[in-house]
């Protein structure tokens, strides 16, 4: 008798608010606030969690969060911060859009090649307002700071912030060890002053 991979547990589906509240609190070491970092690509970026790099087709440069060994990861939210002067809806940050190839945004198996879930339904992210089409998304474009850093003059930069709440899509996302949530850069994004993504969620022993 052969055994296949374990079925994906559905810890939270169907639970009432009271039942969810009764779930034991998560210890701080099991909470995840992690930058997406460089995973694979033809060029290794100088700063591993800065996505404003030169990507190219077909493979691009892949950044992501990889689930550690012997754990399950409950993905709750992905935060995007895109920094550049004068962003508009039809730009990507401040880069005149649409991008030629666009960014892939997905959850992948441990091999890094097979996509388990395309978070953008097969449509690469090419413009700021493409983020608004994602379920459970809030997006703002605002100055980074009215006075710049303490003791410094205003920078004049503006920030596009995207908060993608996975739970608002109506389902819970559970990733197994080795699986990853990714952004794949396939265009030249070096005109941005910065682009970072932070993944939030919880780890459970497996």
pLDDT (tens digit per residue) in 104-132: 999 999 999 999 999 998 899 999 989 98
Q: Which of 72, 107, 95 is nearest to 205 (CA)?
A: 72
Where exactly are the structural domains of the chain? 36-205
* 51 pLDDT more than 50: yes
Average pLDDT over residues 20-26: 61
Q: Which helix (H) or strand (E) holds 167?
A: none
Joined together, the tokens standing for residue 156 give 């004049």
- Euclidean distance between CA atoms 198 and 86, whole angstroms: 23
Q: What's this model's pTM, rounded to 2 decimal places?
A: 0.80
Cβ proximity of 140 and 26 under 8 Å: no
- Euclidean distance between CA atoms 108 and 121, whole angstroms: 14
> In whole angstroms, what separates CA 12 from the centre of its chain?
22
């Amino acid at each position: 008798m052969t055994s296949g991979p374990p079925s994906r547990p559905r810890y939270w589906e169907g639970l009432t608010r009271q039942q969810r509240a009764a779930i034991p609190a998560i210890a701080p070491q099991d909470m995840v606030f992690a930058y997406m970092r460089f995973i694979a690509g033809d060029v290794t970026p100088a700063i591993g969690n800065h996505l404003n790099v030169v990507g190219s087709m077909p493979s691009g440069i892949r950044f992501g969060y990889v689930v550690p060994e012997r754990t399950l990861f409950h993905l709750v939210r992905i935060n995007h911060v895109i920094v550049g002067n004068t962003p508009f809806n039809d730009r990507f940050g401040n880069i005149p859009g649409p991008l030629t190839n666009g960014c892939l945004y997905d959850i992948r198996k441990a091999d890094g090649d097979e996509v388990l879930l395309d978070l953008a339904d097969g449509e690469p992210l090419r413009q700021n307002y493409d983020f608004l089409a994602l379920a459970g998304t809030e997006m703002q474009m605002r100055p980074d700071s009215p006075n710049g850093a303490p003791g410094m003059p205003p920078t004049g930069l503006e920030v596009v912030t995207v908060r993608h709440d996975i739970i608002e899509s109506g389902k819970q996302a559970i990733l197994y060890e080795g699986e990853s949530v990714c952004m794949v850069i396939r265009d030249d994004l070096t005109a941005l002053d910065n682009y970072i993504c932070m993944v939030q969620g919880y780890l459970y022993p497996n």
